[in-house]
Copies of this chain bind each other. A is one copy, B any other.
Amino acid sequence: MDTLETRELRYFMAVAEELHFGRAAERLGMAQPPLSRAIQQLERRLGVSLLKRNRRSVSLTGAGEVLLHEGRAALDATTAAARRTRRAGGADSPGGPRNRLVLAVKAAASHELLQKLLDAYAAEPDAAEIEVLPSGTCEQEEMLRDGRADVALMHAPFNSLAGFDSEELMTEGQIAILPAGHPLAAHKTLSLADVSDIPDLPLARWARHGTYPPGPGPEIHDQTQLAQLIALGRTVAVFPDSARAWLWAEHTAVPLTDAPPVVTHIAWPAHSRSLALAGLIRTATRL
């Protein structure tokens, strides 16, 4: 009736993303004709046209766009259910489910805070085991949504907290990281405008989901790469204060006066009901 099987959703997502039945079928590991048929059935069942086929190109209708977004959320929720259930498996000794929590953190994030949090929590009675899962740039949200992680350290305004519950842990300013020898490195403070268009030092561009924002700067996907490029005098970067921890001798940090403060949150799926998670959050807010 109005069921929407997971398989159908998967199929539609593939087609909607590829906008090409052949490639979508290949990605799904199946032949093209059954895929075409499945999508037709889906459209008939929903009573809605999802794709515009022009015999030569495929595009989304309005309803298709809606299903692309809502379906992504639904699929994520489903795989999250599977993952979390599987993870909870075996943990069934009465009196104390040996819960394990997966904590997603951006690799470059404040190491000090994380260390304090883990230490404090480990000291708690009946603390669950914490698995620290390093995540790429802005990937924590996705990880929480699809169940790879149970809880995450996020950094507003870079991460969006939409759809999660969260508690504020720490606020810090931002600094510009410059090559030590650069003229600007002599300043006591700088503004964003000062560092955003230095002719010889374009701002580095970070990979987000495999693609890079446009711009003149070098393409980066690794903090060490960035550190090296700065040391070589090829680029400049803007980071939260806590990045001072990993600066090299060839780097100079200069506070930025007008950069928005970075707020570190601990965030988790709003519907979570795990005792272990509650304990970790309590510990975190007490730091």
Contact = CB atoms under 8 A, between A and B. Distances in A.
Interface of A: 2-7, 9-10, 46-50, 61-63, 65-67, 69-71, 73-74, 76-86, 88-92, 97, 147, 162-165, 269-271, 273
Given A86-B47, A270-B162, A70 B80 contact: yes
A79 B2 contact: yes
Contacts of A63: 85-86, 88-92
Number of copies: 2
B4 A78 contact: yes
A38 to B, nearest CB: 14
Q: Is the interface of A mostly helix, strand, loop or mixed?
A: helix
Contact of A92 (B9, B49, B85, B164): B49
A47 to B, nearest CB: 6
Contacts of A81: 4, 9, 67, 70-71, 73-74
A89 B162 contact: no
Contacts of A76: 77
Given A48-B90, A63-B85, A67-B81, 19 more contacts: A3-B7, A3-B10, A5-B5, A5-B6, A6-B78, A46-B89, A48-B85, A48-B86, A48-B88, A62-B88, A63-B90, A66-B85, A70-B81, A73-B271, A74-B80, A76-B77, A77-B78, A163-B269, A163-B271
A50 B46 CA distance: 32
A81 B65 CA distance: 11
Contacts of A90: 48, 63
A68 to B, nearest CB: 9
Contact of A273 (B10, B69, B78, B273): B69
A69 B271 contact: yes
Contacts of A71: 81, 85
A50 B82 CA distance: 12
A51 to B, nearest CB: 11
Nearest to A66: B88
Contacts of A49: 89, 92
A74 B70 CA distance: 11
A132 B236 CA distance: 53
Contacts of A269: 163
